[in-house]
């Protein structure tokens, strides 16, 4: 087993009769140490479990959802492994910038092509390829039963990764996602920096553009808070509704009255999302 396939256990704690762990490994994809968390519910020793990957938003790492997401009771109920990676490579030798919306903590789940980002910022390949292989090698997961979800920037990541890999994920959901980064300030800044000025290259990282370019899945689930401070300028879920209507994709988009962008919102609807994924993971 190569060094990049080894993991270091940072902590393991019993919760809801399962084990909540935090782990680190040397990523071949990013060229940096990467930290992630995994909740494994109680299960029969030889049983393989479905896996739900959660992608976090701007400024976050694995710890935000692990500590505040309130997913473990539902995952224990349905027997689902919950994986929460970091949002970007980190470290003294990793490129960074002023501001919370680019650089470390703001990887946008792209494979950057522009310097200085291209050396380490390969979060698309990390989430699509390296991390699933690592999870399969070290945890009791059924690789044929995978789902993906995320929040904000991570909702953008879940939608775009799911749309690019329609045969891999049984279900895709998002909480307050950035649905069309090519059309909003966060996306203009991040995609321009990471990918350059060619907007055609941005389309692989834009859920609305992917649907316009004939990416198809059967259905999507999105919850959005009506009091979200980023709703009108950065998130614009109506663009996703229009794209799905034109493409014939069944979108359940619910505007949740009075909720904002925070983990108070996320934790409120997390169990519903886990249950929705469970039904599609055949558990």
Of 211, 216, 219, 217, which Cα lies nearest the Cα of 242? 211
Cα 131 from Cα 146, distance rounded (Å)? 13
Is residue 152 part of the annotated active site? The answer reads: yes
Which tokens in the block code for residue 80?
A: 């689902």
* Residue of 61, 101, 223, 228 marked active site: 228
Cα 223 from Cα 104, distance rounded (Å)? 27
Q: Is residue 50 a contact partner of residue 142, using CB atoms and an 8 Å limit?
A: yes
Distances (CA, A) of 273 to 43, 55, 153, 261, 279: 21, 14, 17, 16, 10
Is residue 56 part of the annotated active site? The answer reads: no
Cα 268 from Cα 104, distance rounded (Å)? 28
Cα 11 from Cα 28, distance rounded (Å)? 23
Cα 80 from Cα 183, distance rounded (Å)? 35
* Residue of 152, 156, 206, 273 marked active site: 152
Q: Which residues of 146-170 are buried (b: 16+ CB within 10 A; e: fewer)?
A: bbbbbbbbbbbbbbbbbbeeeeebb
Cα 80 from Cα 77, distance rounded (Å)? 8
Is residue 261 part of the annotated active site? The answer reads: yes
Cα 5 from Cα 88, distance rounded (Å)? 19
* Residue of 25, 261, 273, 277 marked active site: 261
Q: Long-range contacts for 131-134 (Cβ within 8 Å, ≥24 apart)? A: 131/34, 131/36, 131/53, 131/83, 131/85, 132/53, 133/5, 134/5, 134/7, 134/25
Q: Which residues are catalytic?
A: 152, 228, 261
């Amino acid at each position: 087993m190569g060094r990049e396939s080894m993991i270091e256990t940072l902590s393991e704690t019993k919760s809801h009769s399962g084990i909540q762990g935090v782990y680190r490994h040397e990523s071949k994809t990013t060229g940096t140490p990467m930290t992630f968390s995994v909740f494994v519910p109680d299960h029969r020793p030889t049983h393989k479990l479905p896996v739900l990957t959660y992608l976090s938003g701007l400024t976050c790492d694995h710890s935000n959802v692990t500590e505040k997401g309130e997913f473990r009771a539902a995952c224990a109920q349905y027997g689902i492994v919950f994986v929460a990676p970091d949002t970007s490579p980190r470290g003294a030798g990793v490129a960074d910038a002023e501001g919370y919306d680019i650089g470390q903590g703001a990887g946008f789940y792209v494979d950057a092509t522009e310097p200085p980002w291209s050396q380490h910022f390969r979060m698309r390949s990390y989430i699509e390829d390296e991390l699933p292989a690592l999870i399969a090698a070290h945890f009791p997961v059924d690789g044929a039963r995978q789902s993906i979800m995320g929040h904000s920037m991570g909702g953008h990541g879940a939608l775009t990764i799911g749309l690019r890999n329609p045969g891999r994920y049984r279900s895709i959901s998002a909480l307050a996602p950035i649905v069309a980064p090519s059309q909003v300030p966060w996306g203009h800044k991040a995609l321009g920096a990471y990918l350059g000025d060619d907007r055609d290259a941005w389309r692989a990282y834009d859920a609305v553009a992917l649907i316009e370019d004939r990416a198809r899945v059967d259905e999507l689930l999105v919850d959005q808070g009506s009091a979200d401070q980023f709703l009108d300028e950065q998130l614009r879920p109506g663009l996703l509704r229009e794209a799905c209507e034109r493409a014939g994709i069944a979108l359940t988009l619910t505007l949740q009255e009075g909720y904002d962008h925070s983990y108070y919102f996320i934790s409120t609807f997390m169990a519903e999302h886990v249950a929705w994924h469970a039904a599609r993971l055949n558990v």
